């Protein structure tokens, strides 16, 4: 049995999955669709496209994700190189990530010169995987990173073709994905606050690009899709747009029309767009009873609710010091008090945000609000702080109870 959290799991995986009779993956469309059925494209893997079944009893989400990323990269290697040479695959995979991160920072900082290639790959994949488990203690710029991991696979495919890769590819891919998601959510007839939150999560989950609201498109005609050369890039864009629109648990006619139009712009058949919706619905319906993440009517709402509880706990734990710091700023105290009975204007919200961030810098437990994407949590912080204020400042809340 493989233990993806113990040293040697990469070699153990290939030892168990290779045999003299192993067949090289050679059907591009089938491999992609089978991978989609595993949930890997949606950031939550339930099984794998492997020749031999894997015992996953008691595995964590991150352990599923490690094997899923390794296996999908290996699948792309087979499709590109037409062989199952695992030593060569590991060597090229490590070279790919080292080319992507040439300096010993971030992803590669844990790798030692004496590490074997399989050991290096284990550390790389471990660093690449982040999940929603204990998300309050993790970097909020990676909330949806596992749903965007397939970009690694796309980039690896390009690397195998050209022996070269740069962050420019990632930036462009992420830019197209986030902008298409933004436009897809705009097309929904029934909108909710969770649609806006989902977009913000996508914006804060990108690794290499910085999403610019001013770059929002108003129609698919404004996109230059010529950058997307291979089928997998196009397939993935359709799937990720469909996932975003499905976040309320249904697909409206106007949303299906959007996916069909997107498929047409990408020169992808409409039957693929239709199958994308069907496969996604089947996956979620089949697994939602066993996956706590999907046990809620809205996965994004679930994330929001869980995050709210975690932030509330952090604030309560640091109540004394937080109130001491706030009380030293008359303007901030006044604005927070007023926020309990009226909507603050944009300038006032900006002041509250900046002053709260300054305070968070002085309290170690609250530095989570300072990491990339942490600003997503500030509205939750602002929501709970007035409840902690002395009653003299909080009389409006008392009247509403």
pLDDT of the residue at 351: 87
Rounded alpha-carbon distances, angstroms, from residue 372 to 195, 261, 367: 20, 34, 11
pLDDT of the residue at 259: 93
pTM (2 d.p.): 0.68
326/312 Cα distance (integer angstroms): 17
Per-residue pLDDT of the chain in tens (401 residues, 90 and over written 9): 899 988 999 999 999 998 778 889 899 999 999 999 998 887 778 899 998 999 998 888 788 989 999 999 999 999 999 999 999 999 999 999 888 765 544 555 566 667 899 999 999 998 887 544 433 334 333 344 566 788 889 889 989 988 877 667 777 877 888 888 888 888 877 776 666 666 666 665 555 555 454 456 788 998 989 888 889 999 999 998 888 777 556 777 888 899 999 999 999 998 999 999 888 888 877 766 654 434 444 555 655 665 666 677 777 777 888 888 888 888 888 888 787 778 888 888 888 888 888 888 787 767 666 655 566 566 777 777 766 655 444 443 344 33
374 C-beta neighbours (distance < 10 Å), count? 19
């Amino acid at each position: 049995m493989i233990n993806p959290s113990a040293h040697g799991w990469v070699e153990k995986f290939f030892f168990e999955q290779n045999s003299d009779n192993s067949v090289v993956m050679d059907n591009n469309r089938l491999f992609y669709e089978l991978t989609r059925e595993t949930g890997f494209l949606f950031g939550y893997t339930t099984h794998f496209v492997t020749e031999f079944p894997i015992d996953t009893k008691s595995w964590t989400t991150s352990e599923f994700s490690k094997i899923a990323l390794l296996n999908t990269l290996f699948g792309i290697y087979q499709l590109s190189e037409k062989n199952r040479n695992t030593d060569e695959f590991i060597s090229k995979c490590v070279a790919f990530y080292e080319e992507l991160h040439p300096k010993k920072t971030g992803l590669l900082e844990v790798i030692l010169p004496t590490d074997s290639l399989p050991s290096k790959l284990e550390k790389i994949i471990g660093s690449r995987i982040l999940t929603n488990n204990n998300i309050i203690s993790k970097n909020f710029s990676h909330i949806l990173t596992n749903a965007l991991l397939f970009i690694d696979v796309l980039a690896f495919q390009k690397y195998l073709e050209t022996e070269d890769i740069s962050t420019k590819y990632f930036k462009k891919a992420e830019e197209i994905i986030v902008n298409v998601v933004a436009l897809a959510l705009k097309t929904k007839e029934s909108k909710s606050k969770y649609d806006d939150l989902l977009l913000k999560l996508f914006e804060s989950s990108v690794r290499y690009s910085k999403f610019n609201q001013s770059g929002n498109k108003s129609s698919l005609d404004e996109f230059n899709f010529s950058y997307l050369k291979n089928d997998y890039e196009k397939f993935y864009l359709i799937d990720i747009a469909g996932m975003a629109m499905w976040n309320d648990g249904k697909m409206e006619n106007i949303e299906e029309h959007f996916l069909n139009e997107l498929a047409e712009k990408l020169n992808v058949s409409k039957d693929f767009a239709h199958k994308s919706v069907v496969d996604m619905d089947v996956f979620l319906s089949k697994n939602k009873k066993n996956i706590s993440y999907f046990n809620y009517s809205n996965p994004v709402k679930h994330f929001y609710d869980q995050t709210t509880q975690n932030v509330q706990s952090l604030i309560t734990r640091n109540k004394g010091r937080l109130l001491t710091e706030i009380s030293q700023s008359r303007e901030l105290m006044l604005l927070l008090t007023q926020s309990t009975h009226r909507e603050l204007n944009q300038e006032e919200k900006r002041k509250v945000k900046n002053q709260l961030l300054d305070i968070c810098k002085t309290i170690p437990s609250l530095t989570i609000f300072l990491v990339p994407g942490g600003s997503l949590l500030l509205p939750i912080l602002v929501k709970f702080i007035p409840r902690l204020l002395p009653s003299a400042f909080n009389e409006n809340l008392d009247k509403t109870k």
